[in-house]
């Protein structure tokens, strides 16, 4: 069986929140496949090393680092303009930038709530809305990063869960609207993934995760990059408006566990 349709070679992609973790892994995977990538985060110093490492590697794809706060529409417009100016267009947008904190709902301040909503859902809106013209020019793909917290809720993460639920709904809604423009919009809802942040909180190192071990509930950033590449590739041409849950072994409701 040919694997050509799993390739994204020759395209251009923006990956937000790509200074580390899942976003960084996606950028590296795309570049290895021949995709020109624009990596961005709120601090230029954090994203420059990612682009430099890609450009210094044997990856056929090139990388451009851009400082961008996804909650700032002017900065997002500048990000898209820099992408088109550098690479001539835009084919894939990965809305990965996100943030969260843990607190009881009663203890969340209006500013804390607004901050998480602003980054996770308004940032997704800004990037997708700004990129629309170029994604529709010849067809493209939008891949949103949500969370299992947006599918079933998560204690102590109410603003994050609410925002990610909105991302999932936006994915479905926009997939209807943009299908006739040849733009596929899909979503990934990861469970626990051994990002640097999760490692610091849970003490689980990605180095100790065996991808051949089926019976686990924590994944690697590379596994999310695998799903992202699939959704960006022609191999997923019949997937439109879907949210793929990547969480390992499903959790069983304690009331029904035997």
Sequential DSSP letters for 156-210: T-HHHHHHHHHHHHHHHHHHHHHGGGTEEEEEEEE-EE--HHHHHHH---GGG--
Residues ≥6 apart with Cβ < 8 Å to 132: 178
Predicted pLDDT at 258? 37
State residue 255's pLDDT score: 47
If we measure between CA atoms, which residue out of 123, 212, 114 comes closest to residue 159? Answer: 114
pLDDT at 19: 97
End-to-end C-alpha distance for the chain, whole angstroms: 41
Q: For 201-245, write each residue's pLDDT tens digit.
A: 556 666 677 887 888 888 899 999 999 999 999 999 999 999 999
**At 56, phi and psi to the nearest 5?**
-90, -5
Report pLDDT for 200: 57
Q: What is the pLDDT of residue 197?
A: 67
Burial of 215 (0-12, 13-18, 19+ CB in 10 A): exposed
pTM of the model: 0.94
CA-CA-CA-CA torsion sign (66, 72, 75, 77): positive
74 in helix, strand or coil? helix
pLDDT for residue 211: 83
H/E stretch holding 46 reads: helix 44-56
- Residue 196: the pLDDT is 72
| Residue ranges of the chain with per-residue pLDDT less than 70 | 1, 197-207, 253-258
C-alpha 246/C-alpha 227 separation (Å) is 8
- Look up 160 and say whether it is catalytic: yes
Q: Domain residue spans in the chain?
A: 7-190+220-246
Residue 246's pLDDT is: 97
Is the separation of the CB atoms in 53 and 101 below 8 Å? Answer: no
At 90 the three-state DSSP class reads coil
**Catalytic option among 125, 160, 176, 238:** 160
Helix 44-56 to helix 21-32 angle, to the nearest 10 degrees? 30
Q: Decide: 232 and 8 in contact? Cβ < 8 Å.
A: yes
Q: Does domain 7-190+220-246 have CATH number 3.40.50.720?
A: yes
């Amino acid at each position: 069986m040919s694997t050509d349709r799993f390739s994204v070679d020759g395209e251009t992609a923006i990956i937000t929140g790509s200074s580390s973790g899942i976003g960084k892994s996606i950028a590296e995977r795309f570049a290895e496949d021949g995709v020109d990538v624009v990596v961005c985060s709120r601090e230029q110093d954090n994203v420059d090393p990612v682009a430099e490492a890609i450009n210094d590697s044997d990856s056929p794809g090139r990388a451009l680092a851009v400082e961008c706060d996804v909650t700032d529409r002017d900065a997002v417009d500048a990000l898209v303009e820099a992408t088109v100016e550098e690479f001539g267009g835009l084919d894939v947008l990965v809305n990965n930038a996100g943030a969260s904190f843990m607190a009881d709902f009663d203890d969340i301040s209006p500013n804390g709530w607004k901050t998480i909503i602003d980054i996770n859902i308004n940032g997704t809106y800004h990037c997708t809305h700004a990129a629309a013209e170029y994604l529709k020019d010849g067809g493209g793909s939008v891949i949103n990063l949500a969370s299992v917290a947006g599918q079933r809720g998560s204690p102590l993460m109410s603003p994050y869960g609410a925002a990610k639920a909105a991302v999932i709904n936006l994915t479905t809604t926009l997939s209807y609207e943009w299908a006739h423009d040849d733009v596929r919009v899909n979503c990934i809802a990861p469970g626990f993934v051994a990002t640097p942040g999760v490692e610091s909180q849970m003490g689980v190192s990605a180095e100790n995760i065996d991808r051949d071990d089926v019976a686990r509930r924590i994944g690697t950033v590379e596994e999310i990059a695998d799903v992202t590449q699939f959704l960006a590739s022609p191999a997923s041409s019949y997937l439109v408006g879907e949210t793929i849950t990547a969480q390992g072994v499903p959790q069983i409701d304690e009331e029904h566990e035997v």
